[in-house]
Every structure is written in C-alpha cells, then in structure tokens.
Structure 1
Amino acid sequence: MKRKKTVLQQILSEKRKKAKEGGSMSGKDEFGTTKYVIYAEFEANGVVERPDVVGAIFGQTEGLLGDDLDLRELQKTGRIGRIRVEVHNKAGKTYGTITVPSSLDRVETAVLAAALETIDRVGPAEARIKVLRIEDVRATKRKYIIERAKEILETLMEQEIPETQEITEEVKKAVRAKELIEYGPEKLPAGPHVPFSDSIIVVEGRADVLNLLKHGIKNAIAVEGTSIPETIIKLSKERIVTAFTDGDRGGELILKELLQVADVDYVARAPEGKEVEELTKKEIVKALRSKVPAEQVINEMFNKGKSFYDLIKERESESEAQPKQVVKPEPEVKAQPKVEKPEEKREPATVVRPSAEKIVRPIETSKSAPELEEFKEFIERVKKDGVALLLDENKNVIAEIPVRELTNQLKERRDVYAVVFNGVITQRLIDTVSETGVKYIVGARKYNVVRRPVSLKIITFAE
C-alpha cells in the first residue's frame, strides 16, 4: 500500500515528473528523514529487468563495506530508502537510471555511491554503473521554503495592510459617530457644538454631518429630508445660520424651501454635481468661504431666475479686478452674521445667543477717544517691546507675555481687566476675552470683527 503524500511531497513529486535525466530529485521515499539522494545511470549488454538490477545492487555490495554499510541492514533500519530503478531496452541493450535515497551523512553516502560503481554484471549481462550526482535534499527543501516564504509574505502584505487601514478607519468612524448627537424633538443628527454655538451650518443628511465632523467642523445639523423640521426653523431665529447643500437638483429644492420657511443668513453649496458627504476638507473650506448673503441669493433665484452657481461666477469675476486678501483659516469654520449698511445712525443691532447674552456689532473707536489717553503709556511700551500687557482694575501690570501666547494665557486667567498689545484684534480673540470678564482690549487694528459683548470696549491706535 502506497504511503499518502504530504503537500511538500506532492510538489516535489511534480518536479520529479517534469525533470529529465540529470534533472531534479527522483524517488518516492526520499522525502521523510532523507538527507541525500544518489542519482546513477547504468548500461547492460543484454536484456535485463528491474529485479535484476536491484538484485545486483544488493548482491554485489554485500559484505563489501562491512556490516555498518550493508545495504540490507541499512534498509531495514530505514537509513536507506526504497531503491528506484527505471529501465528501457534498445537494440538488445538495456539502459536505465538508479535512485537511492539516503539518511546517512555525506561521507557515508559518498562511499555508498562509489560502491555502486563496482557492480559489473546485472543478471547474465555485463553492465556498467556511473554515479551522476548526489543531491542534498535539505538544500532543495531550503530553496522551496525560501520561495514559499516569499509568496506567503507577499500575500500577507497585500491582505493584512489594507485590513489594518480599514481597522483604523473603523475606529475613526466610531469616534465620529460617538461625537454625533441627536438634537431637538425630531432627534436630528448634529455636531456636539450645535447646542451652544452662536452659528450653525444646516446640511441635508446624517452623512453630511459626519463628513464635517471628520474635518473638524462640529456645529452642523441635518434637516433629514425635504420637509424642514420645526427645530431648524426655531434655531434660525436665534442663531447665525449658513445653509450648506449638495450641488445637485435635490440640494436646490431643499435650499429653496429653507429660504422660504427659515431665517437663513448665508448660503453655501457644494461644487456642481458633488455632495457634501464626499467633499474633501479643502473643498468644504472653500465652499464655506464662498458663502453668499441669503438676501442676495433670494433676489437672484426668486426674482431674476438665476442659479446659485451663476451668482458665484459673477462674484468671482467682480473680485478678479480687486486685490485678494489672504484670510487665515480658523480651526472651526463659523458662519458670520449679515452685515447691513444703515442709511442713518441707529442703535447697534443685537443677536441673541442661546445663553441670552447679548452680542452687538463692534463700535468703531477713533484715535481721539478718551480711553486712548488712559492707555497711552502702555501703548508706547508695547510698540517698543513687542509684548502683550495684562492689566488689573487699577491699571497695574499683572503679566507681561509674548503676543503669540496671549490667547492661551487669557483662557487660564480671570483677573484681567484690560489687554494691551501691538497686534491685530480678531473675532477669535474677542470671543476668548469675553468669557474671562475683560473690559478693555487695546490693539493696533482690528480685522473681520462682527460682534462683541456689550461690556467689552475695543480701542485701536493704528487705524
């Protein structure tokens, strides 16, 4: 009964079948504990059969090398495998090959191979045996192991690395999904900053909110359908609202309904043919920076029949002739309130925060304001030293810090009455100081400031 082959034996067996004379390994039993395989060829001057050749090998080597290297004893103990002989006859002569698997060491195997060449007769015919080579089976196995290891490693790199990336992405998605909240009676998908943010971004669906969360924008809320929820309508009366819709037909329909039923301040749309959920961070920021006041969109869309993208193209063509201002992006993209140009002097317009704190437009302060004289000494000092001064109620300097650390320092202090520095007053800085109780902020100039607390006074000395 033939012994069942292992996978390795099957592979090497296929190689043996393809190999010709002088090729790779032969034989069936040379794959267990075998170390070497002896390959030999023979020629007999007559017609002989396989049993004749095997009998000549055992018979003519018996007692030649002593008991330790007797072929019969070695085969009984398993140190020599089954001898394989292949014969074919031609023109009254017999030719063939002999394969002897050996688990002896290399010296003993070489001695055994040399003994085969002493055989000079097979059956009734004269014969000649010549050893072709001795093959190290372990070298063949090592070669196979190396080649197979390469294949396994390539498969591992192709399959495991993408899987690792997928795991990382799944973890990120789980974190973003955890940040997602449900807002209002309709349980609308929203970012974690929606309940307390002064401005919100209204998008179409849950996937849009998740994409904005992915890129650090946490004040978005979804309408979840073409029917505008009551929660969105209510929020639009209290917050600064930017409608951010897809650049397709569905986005246009939702935008029109939003403009009709809600108090929208600004309108932004994804590039034509794209959806908000598939935009990159760069595309999102660009779209939000290109937002258009809602009044202008209503006038162009409902009265003149123009599309939103026609309006954008007109604005871009108008701005080409004007020098462009480089706007430094903030960590979170926030919408800005509508700016109306009053025809006559009126009281500053107010916007109510959810916390009921009133926000008004900043009051322009001229260089001749009385407060400017009060801080003249400190202004000259910051101009000279390039630092920021923090003052208490008695106008004593309680801290002198680098301007770049101003925002971080203010977040940690609650004893600052006035801030004086030779730099630009931004909306971000105003939002920071308004939470710490600062009453005066004195700077060189202000940029893009649209609101401030009533209790905060802004003084500029370089405008």
Structure 2
Amino acid sequence: MDDTAKYLIHASISADGVVERSDVVGAIFGQTEGLLGDDLDLRDLQQSSKVGRIDVQIDSENGHSFGQMTIASSLDKAETAVLAASLETLTRVGPCQAVIEITNIEDVREAKRRMVVDRAKELLSESFDDTVMTSTEILEEVKESIRVEDITEFHGLPAGPRVADSDAIIVVEGRADVLTLLQYGIKNAVGVEGTNVPEDIADLTQERTVTAFLDGDRGGELILRELAQVGDVDYVAFAPDGQSVEDLDRGAVIQSLRDKVAFASLPNEGSFRAAVAAANGTQEVPTDPRTESPTTDDTSPTPPADDPSDAATETGADTSNTVTVEPIADVGVGAEAGTVGAADEGSDPDAPAAADVLAAAEVETVAEADPVPETRSLSDHTREIIDAESGLARLLDANLEPVDEVAVEKVYDTVEYADPAPELVVIDGEASQKLVDIAAQRGVGNIVARSAGEYVKKPVSVRVRTAEQLVD
C-alpha cells in the first residue's frame, strides 16, 4: 500500500470458471477505459500515483473462481467512490461471467488516528510517573546509594570492603545482610548466598577468624551445619528467634554479635540456637524432641542502648566474647577499632569459658533426661522422592514431617494454596523460576530439587539445593 494513500477500496469477485489474477487486472483496465473520462482514467491515475497497485487474491474450486481485490486511492472521497462504483460495471473476466461487488471503502487516516490514540493512551499510562517522593524517601534513597557503593564482591559474592584484608570476617546469609551490617559500620561481612557454601568461602574460613552471624530460624541452622562441614567456624551468633539479620536495628545487631559463642563449645546434636541461648545465660529456647529444633519463644536478647558508640568494653568469664564497638568501624580481630571477637591480651585462649562449660553441662543434662528419637532427615526425604524417581513433590513442615504429597505438575497450585504454607519442598523435578517465585510469596524457605532452573531474578529468601548437593 502506498504511504500517501487516503482510502482503500475493498471488493469481492466471483467468476463462473477458472480465472487468474492477470485476467482480473486486464478486465478492470479494459472494461473501464474511457468510462469515466480522461480525468478518472485508471491507467493515467496509476501513472500519476493517485491510484496504487491493484492487489488481487483469487482461488478456484469446482470450476468456479472467487477472491478479494484491494485498490489504494489518493483521490478525494467523491472521486474514490466514483472509481469504486465503476468496478461494479465489470461483467466478464476472460471468457467467464463475473461479478465484482464493493464491500467497503476504508479511510486509512481514520485507522491511523485510532492507532495514534491507542498508543498515546499506553504512553500516558506507562511513561509518566505521577509519584512524588517525600523527603524521607529522598533521604533513604540517597543513603541506600551510599551503602550500595560501599559494597564490593569477594569471588562474585557480596562483601564489605574490609573482607579482603581483615583478620576476621563475619559470614552472613546474603546481600541484604551485608548491606545491613554496612549501614551500621561493620565492613568485614561476606554473604554465602544460600546453603550451598561456595568453595572460596570455605577456603577463606581456614585463614581468618570466622564468626557466623545467621538468621534466627531453621534456615540459619542449616547454613551453619554446612558451613561447619566444609569450613572452619570459630564463633556463632544468631539473630533473635524468628528474626532475620537484615531486619535488625543497630542495637540488636551489636547485641547479637556480643553474644556470640565459640563454635567448639556447642554440642553436635540438638539445636544450635538453644545452645547459644544457654551459653549466654538467657532463657533457653525450648526444643522439640522430634526434630531437635527450637519452638517459637518470645524471649530474645535485650538490645543495648540505641547509640552503640557509648558502649564500653565488656569482659566476662569468656574472654573470647570481648566486644569493642565504635560508631563507624570494622568488625575484625586484633587491636583495631570496631573489633568483635578478639581475645584480650594476657588471657589464656585455651581455658574453657564458664558460660561454655555451663552450656555443655545443661545440654548433656537435657540429652540424658530426654533422648531424641530418630526421625527422617532431609536426606531421607530426598532419597524417597528424588533418588527413587517418584515423579512426586513432598511438602514438609518445620519438623520435617510431610504435610502433603502431589504429582510434580500439581506442585505450583499446591504450594500456592497450602494452609499453612510448608517450610520446605522436595521435588522430583526442576526448581523453576515459577516455583521459586511462588515459594517466596508463601514464605517457603527451602527447596530441594533434582535440578536448579535458570533464574532471571532469584528471591534471596528462598534457598535452592539439588539432590546431588544434599545426598552423598
């Protein structure tokens, strides 16, 4: 169609015989020649580009031909209508009787106007942002940009700027935790980004004094267990029960780091969070004997004053828990400012801490009084679902007890509408982007799958592991 055309003449054609496109075009020129005078002669109009090419589409079936014809016109309305009407005077195409009927004259400009209006509506709704930022939002955005500029990478993992040269590091779960600690002046944190601890982090823990600072939930316990298997952990600190590191205020972060406990003093069995709480002399987190995991309790360490710059060095029976806090400083080891976890000079590093001995005694007493019954582990569920090629997905609660079991293709709706939402999903299939997104929306913290998918954007709240990583 010519870009300058204003109208399109649409016509239908039928013939009592088999005809071709060239027959139709020849009949139009032959039978309209001289019909409308020199000013509207079709050949002259085409030569002057006032009429475009005659487009004919015709088919034959059972000895009859039928099709559609379109002619572009740059003439005015009246001239176009006269030209269209002249086409209906055709009675023969080649040797066959034929009928041409005008079905419609389309105003091309009107179609373009509708397209312009529709596109303008889209641009108006999509391209203009009417939101006006408040002063608080402006300040928060500026502060966030400063924190993002401070964050660096350590072998592709989010890290504070002092991780590369500090004598001590703090291992946290993800990028959001690193940003939170940077906000409070702690610059030697590195995130493992999931329960599959990278080899670079495992190697780094062999060279530095390591404090694992993890969320106060079962996911934090799982990360600590894997980190302890592949690396060397010196101290352990948890966020208050049920809270994440990224959600803590400055006082709660400093208090949690002050309450860190030597990992070597923790028992191999039972809840690490309960053992850390006992070592700190706080109310012990109750433990469910079926899963050795703590139940929900509102008790948590009392946060210190809002301004940690006023905090003085606190030395207890366990010299490894000495804490020095300054307003903007690194959390490291040695005499440098902002150090969390360095031992006081002159103390015996090999001497057992009183709190550690007390914690060990309490854990042993609990173990003797209430032996923990054997339950199915996550590895057991993985073998039953994935290794056995069951074609199923199993939903588990926080106690690793099955909540539901469905075919793989039904896992999306099952996870989305499960009440209550499961804690963990074991699936004999791929942990796709859709499944990970639904899990993040429902608060599912862990997925174990046969394979991991390709993620455009992976939620930090969901940890994905494959059966190969989990089961030896």
The TM-score bracket by the shorter chain reads 0.3 to 0.5
Computing the radius of gyration from Cα coordinates, the structure with the larger value is: 1
State the TM-score, normalized to the length of structure 1: 0.40
